[in-house]
Amino acid sequence: MKKKLFSTGTIVLFMAITIYIFATSKEIGALPKMVKDIQIHWLIMAASLMGLFYIFNTLILHKISHEIRHPLSLKGALYMSFVGQYYSLITPFATGGQPAQVYAMQKKVWHISSKRNNHYGEKVHHLSSSSIFVCISHVCCQV
């Protein structure tokens, strides 16, 4: 009970800090102009690339889990993908994604060697997909 109360309190605290910073920001007046000036094709391309990232990450986690004889459903692989992405976003230098995925896998009672194999396979996927996205953005965004 104390752990749940602490977690809830931490989330509420960070939400309050975020709302305070947002409410007291002087740049908030420029937000309507920025929204009006947004070029929709860039938003569509960004959303499409993020969707592709999630699809490929899910498929690779699904395939790797079957190859190490600890099958993960597509829904489970998508969950692992979201866990990794979320913790990569909130931790400094994106260091929390893979440990969070390993912890989530541990809850599914996987063997340590299997988790390590999955972690390395996902790392190879992450590096290769990041390289592909950098190449695509370089080609598409030349001014």
Same domain as 42, residue 18: no
CB 101 within 8 A of CB 121: no
Same domain as 22, residue 70: no
Same domain as 85, residue 50: yes
Same domain as 56, residue 1: no
Greatest mean pLDDT among 4-13, 44-53, 95-104: 44-53
Instruction: Provide, rounded to the nearest whole percent, the portion of the chain with pLDDT above 70.
Output: 78
For residue 8, give its domain range.
1-35
CB 22 within 8 A of CB 28: yes
Q: What is the mean pLDDT of residues 57-74?
A: 84
Same domain as 43, residue 5: no
Range of weakest confidence among 12-21, 39-48, 90-99 = 90-99
Name the DSSP letter for residue 91: S
Does 8 score more than 80 pLDDT? yes
CB 118 within 8 A of CB 65: yes
Place of tokens 């969707």: 51
Token output for 106: 């541990």
Q: What is the pLDDT of residue 105?
A: 77
CB 88 within 8 A of CB 99: no
Q: What is the pLDDT of residue 23?
A: 83
Same domain as 98, residue 46: yes
Q: Cα(28)–Cα(74) distance, rounded to whole angstroms?
A: 41
**61: closest CA among 75, 50, 77, 73?**
77
Cα angle: 23, vertex 33, 133; to 5 degrees:
90
Q: What is the mean pLDDT of residues 97-118?
A: 67
Taking only the tens place, the pLDDT of each residue in 13-36 is: 988 998 898 888 887 778 788 888
Q: What is the mean pLDDT of residues 82-110?
A: 78
Same domain as 67, residue 26: no
Range of weakest confidence among 22-26, 49-53, 74-78, 120-124 = 120-124
